[in-house]
Amino acid sequence: MHQHLLSYRRRRYLRLSLGLLVASLLIYFSQAPTLPRNGGSWQGYTLGGVATAMILWLAWLGLRKRSYRSSLGTVQGWTSAHVWLGLSVLPIAALHGAFQFGWNVHTLAFVLLTAVVLSGIYGMFAYLTLPQRLVRVHGDQSRADWLTELNAIDARLRELAVDADARTQAIVESAVDRTSLGGGVLAQWFGFDRSRVLDPAAAGQGSRLLGNRGQQRLIDFLAARIPLAEQRGEVAMLQELLALAGRRRRVLDTLRKGVRLNARIKLWLVLHIPLTLGLLSALTVHILVVFLYW
Amino acid sequence: MSAVQILIRRIERDQKGNEALFEKTIDSGTLTMGHRFDQTLQLLDPEIAPCHAVLTLRRGGGFDLRTVGAARVQLADKTVARARLTAGQSIAMGRQTLTVVAPPPGFAAAIEVLALTPDEAFGPATHFVLELTQTGLRSRPLAWLLLLIPLLFLALPLAGVWQPALATWLRAQPWLPADSVWSSGPLSGAHSSPDIGSNCQACHLKLFEPAPDRGCGHCHEAINAHFDRRLVDSPLLDAMACARCHKEHNEPGNLLRHDSALCIDCHRELGAVAKSKGAAKLSAPVSGLALGSHPQFPFTLWRFDATRWTWSLSRLPSEAPPEPREGSNLRFSHALHLDPKKVQVPGTKTLLGCADCHRLGRDPEHFEPISMEGQCRRCHSLAFDEAEPEQQLPHADVPAAVRAIEEHFIRQFLLPGATDGSSQRNRRRPGQAVLADPCRESPLTCARERSRLEAFNQFSRSGCVTCHQVTEQPEQPLPTRWRVKPVRLVADWYPAARFNHVAHLAAGATAAERDKACSSCHAAKLSKVSADILIPGLTRCLDCHGDRASQAKVKLDCTGCHAFHQRSGTPLKPQSRLADPAAQKLSGVRQLAAAVFRDAGGDVGSQNSGSKQPHSKVSPAYEETRL
């Protein structure tokens, strides 16, 4: 996939991007050394015009490559152009401003452009590598399948626990109820596991809320409980509970990794598009202000 | 590895018709189906039993299907527990449709499972927050925020443009955007002062109008023109805005353009852009700094008219024949003063150096005026009586000098006790033999005779006449018999150019090295008469300097030597361009700017405004030197 995206048509857009960059450098260095290079020379205006046109075109490309109905070019081609030209717009904009930065609206536009390009670079990395990892994590099933299995396991755990002793039942049900998966942006991004379990009779401590990361405490409890079984059939029941807890750990682990990868694939876009809109706004202000106080 | 391979192609179709394809290979002739995880084909569907059915591959293709327990499947609208399936046949279980399809090469059989997936997985597990869109993070509010912040940076300062009170208030708020956030770079020098630096409207008087000259005029109203407007007319230059050459908001701060093109555009053919109003000649064409592209430097020399006894300035080409001579009326030999065998600094045995007489003035180009009192008197006294060397002649006043001689000798002869008691003194003056014949007349007569002899000696033999040119009118009485031609040294040989002596002497660490540096341009050691001009011309400059197109070691732009605004002359723009009827109250700043310019000996004020000295930047301090 990424071979196709970045090397589309023998790296046509990489070559175009490098060509633009070289031309921009030539224009930049053609500025007479009589004044510090700046965006106010004809070269500065030219580079600014090129960068503005590129930004508008790239933003339009962002819309265009999501329009699957259009027959103008291929999505792959547009994406390749978006990536390569998007990478070159940042240095061209820096040349336009001759690397002069300050606390002003002009630098604000550049900072937003930098944020857009950086989020785009991350997005490209995410799109090229993470979906494959997500497929490997999920296997041949979708997330819905894994959630369905989790539900089935949970239902069976509760069903079996009804016949167990009170402490086992309480621990199994609390482990199911207090399972943590996903959550806020950071929890999804890092895949935090804040699962808990309430042990009503923890050794010498009474009722206590304990960490249950990776369902480890539930598994440990069930494994330790099996040798203490006294009634007929209790061992088989506990063994099935243990098998289900083990499988549940595997399912939750898969889901958690999936959530983490999913967040990492999608978060950049949550930022990339608003940052682009902010950039377009700052760019408009930048251009307007230059001519307001000419 | 079993020889039997069954391909399972699973298609998940959502409510919108989007499909996802999963393929899996089974190395066994028996497939178990159900929702439990240990099934070969796990079908996550609440309508499907944990162990729902078993498929067994038949020899020769096709499958035998057998359900487990009470589970059933649909086969062509019939509910069955057992079935024999051949290629093309389908069974339905819950949301799944299982079709036996023709196997691709290498597979014994192939099954396609079409699963219609609901919008969400069923059951309590769906309460988990697994998507970013379910969190507080939303693209839309973030987009609005990022859209609005830059607009705020536009709207608030813009409101301040129309409401000055708001602008003032905004500038006082550290966390609100005032119009300074519109600035594209720092201001240079005095422009970055609080009065101007934070008040954009000091220069940007009107929106969408490039900073007009009348903004500059608030402070720089007294700045001088490029030329004397009474002599030359140039509509092109009159129409040119200050901002054409003075660029602000750059990094590093640099107010002035330094490119030669700025000057050469006009000076290449000055006649095309400027017109002389009278007899004044326009400058010669300039297209660079090289022989042929830059004219020879014209000397500005004082010329003495001995008939009318007046001085006038004249400009002569420095290196064109005939060789120009200076006419200062001084008799002086640099070679003699720099001869180590003849001249040393008084009181020491060190040789006389350039800096013993030539001391830089308040700018790095010009030297303090040479004067009898300032320089010569250190070695040369004006004593005229060897017996009384403390008696000195007054300088630069012939009648007073004659009177001083007479008074001295009358006192000598009439009041002998005041000296050595003898009324008949034999006197010997430097270079003169002892009088062979002592005076035998009355003391007054003798005194007058001695005075006359001394005056003759001073004005025609070895006193004043050593350095000065003296004319004699024999018919005149003694005090007015001689006239000494006034001395006027040139203080500024090239008034139209600037030269930095300090920069050119920077390499010299010791006085001797600095003298060597002086001698590299000024051939003083070879000059025996004061008429020699020791100021180098264009050729000497070109030994080190050249324009940007040259291979010279040190490249010079026009502004390296020439100032655009003349130090004296007519105002830059007398018309209304520098005057703004709606001028803001910047009097404090204006006064400050004027003071700064005055201190720098700069452009404020007009000197020689009525003189006939075009392009002269000679300040009164340098204008005339009298010995």
Q: Considering chain A, what percentage of its residues have pLDDT values greater than 90? A: 61
Question: How far apart are the C-alpha atoms of A31 and A12, rounded to whole Å?
Answer: 30
* DSSP result, B474-504: TTS-HHHHEEEPP----S-S-TT----HHHH
Question: How far apart are the C-alpha atoms of B204 and B196, rounded to whole Å?
Answer: 11
Name the minimum distance, in Å, from the CA of B228 to any CA of chain A.
Answer: 27
Among B153, B183, B204, select the one facing A285 at the smallest CB separation.
Answer: B153
pLDDT band at B625 (very low <50, low <70, confident <90, very high): very low
Tabulate helix, strand, coil % of chain B (nearest 5).
Answer: 30, 15, 55
Tokens representing B433 are 């033999």
Question: How far apart are the C-alpha atoms of B483 and A102, rounded to whole Å?
Answer: 71
The interface predicted TM-score (ipTM) is 0.85
Model confidence pLDDT, tens digit, residues B223-261: 888 888 888 888 888 888 888 888 888 877 667 777 777
pLDDT band at A53 (very low <50, low <70, confident <90, very high): very high
Query: Which pLDDT score is estimated for B574?
Result: 56
Query: Which pLDDT score is estimated for B134?
Result: 84
Burial class, A140, CB count within 10 angstroms (exposed 0-12 / middle 13-18 / buried 19+): middle
Top-confidence residue, B421 or B609: B421
Helices and strands (H and E) in chain A: how many: 10, 2
Model confidence pLDDT, tens digit, residues B172-200: 888 888 888 998 888 887 888 877 888 88
* Interchain pair B12, A273: CB under 8 A: no
Tokens representing A144 are 């819905």
The mean pLDDT value for B617-627 works out to 35
Query: Which pLDDT score is estimated for B262?
Result: 79
> Within an 8 Å CB–CB cutoff, is residue A26 touching chain B?
no
* Interchain pair A290, B137: CB under 8 A: no
Chain B CB contacts of A181 under 8 Å are 128, 130
* Interchain pair A185, B261: CB under 8 A: no
Q: Where are the domains of chain A?
A: 5-139+265-293, 143-263
Q: Does residue A213 register a pLDDT over 50?
A: yes
* Interchain pair B44, A36: CB under 8 A: no
Averaged pLDDT score across all residues of chain B: 81
Q: If you search the block for the tokens 């003194």, which residue do you land on?
A: B425
Query: Which pLDDT score is estimated for B3?
Result: 67
Query: Which pLDDT score is estimated for A72?
Result: 61
Query: Which pLDDT score is estimated for A68?
Result: 55
Identify which of B399, B404, B408 has the alpha carbon closest to the alpha carbon of residue B484: B399
The mean pLDDT value for A123-148 works out to 88
Burial class, B391, CB count within 10 angstroms (exposed 0-12 / middle 13-18 / buried 19+): middle
Query: Which pLDDT score is estimated for B403?
Result: 93
- A-chain residue closest to B145, CA distance: A278
Q: Does residue A244 register a pLDDT over 90?
A: yes
The mean pLDDT value for B580-605 works out to 43
* Full strand arrangement of the beta sheet holding B6-13: B19-26, B6-13, B109-116, B96-101, B90-93, B73-75, B78-80
pLDDT band at B602 (very low <50, low <70, confident <90, very high): very low
Model confidence pLDDT, tens digit, residues B358-411: 998 888 889 999 999 888 988 888 998 888 888 899 998 999 999 999 999 888
Q: Does residue B581 register a pLDDT over 80?
A: no
Model confidence pLDDT, tens digit, residues B406-456: 999 888 888 765 444 444 444 444 444 444 456 778 888 888 898 999 999
Top-confidence residue, B321 or B517: B517
Model confidence pLDDT, tens digit, residues B249-307: 887 766 777 777 778 888 998 888 888 888 778 888 899 898 889 988 888 889 999 89
pLDDT band at A25 (very low <50, low <70, confident <90, very high): very high
Question: How far apart are the C-alpha atoms of B484 and A109, rounded to whole Å?
Answer: 77
Query: Which pLDDT score is estimated for B227?
Result: 85
Top-confidence residue, B610 or B200: B200
Model confidence pLDDT, tens digit, residues B119-138: 554 556 667 889 888 888 88
Chain A CB contacts of B262 under 8 Å are 34
Query: Which pLDDT score is estimated for B627?
Result: 37
* Interchain pair A141, B148: CB under 8 A: no
The mean pLDDT value for A96-100 works out to 91
Q: Does residue B619 register a pLDDT over 70?
A: no
> Within an 8 Å CB–CB cutoff, is residue A155 touching chain B?
yes
pLDDT band at B314 (very low <50, low <70, confident <90, very high): confident
- Answer yes or no: are the C-beta atoms of B364 and B501 closer than 8 Å: yes
Least confident of A277-286, B81-90, B420-429: B420-429
Chain B CB contacts of A260 under 8 Å are none
Q: Does residue B621 register a pLDDT over 50?
A: no
Q: Does residue B330 register a pLDDT over 70?
A: yes
- A-chain residue closest to B133, CA distance: A270
Top-confidence residue, A205 or B536: B536
* Interchain pair B184, A104: CB under 8 A: yes
The mean pLDDT value for B599-615 works out to 34
Q: Does residue B221 register a pLDDT over 50?
A: yes
Chain A CB contacts of B252 under 8 Å are 36
> Within an 8 Å CB–CB cutoff, is residue A207 touching chain B?
no
The mean pLDDT value for B148-159 works out to 94
The three-class DSSP label of residue A215 is helix
Contacts of the segment A56-60: beta carbons below 8 A, 24+ positions apart: A56/A280, A57/A85, A58/A82, A58/A85, A58/A86, A58/A89, A59/A276, A59/A280
- Answer yes or no: are the C-beta atoms of A38 and A98 closer than 8 Å: yes
Query: Which pLDDT score is estimated for A220?
Result: 95
pLDDT band at A282 (very low <50, low <70, confident <90, very high): very high
Among A153, A271, A293, select the one facing B200 at the smallest CB separation.
Answer: A293
Chain B CB contacts of A106 under 8 Å are 184
Q: Does residue B564 register a pLDDT over 80?
A: yes
Q: Does residue B576 register a pLDDT over 70?
A: no
> What are the distances in angstroms from CA B608 to CA B563, B611, B613, B619?
17, 5, 8, 8
What are the residue ranges of helices labelled H in A97-215? 105-138, 143-161, 166-177, 185-190
Least confident of B416-425, B532-541, B550-559: B416-425
∠B519-B521-B526 over CA atoms, to 5°?
55
DSSP state of B186: P
The three-class DSSP label of residue B24 is strand
Query: Which pLDDT score is estimated for A240?
Result: 94
Q: Does residue B617 register a pLDDT over 60?
A: no
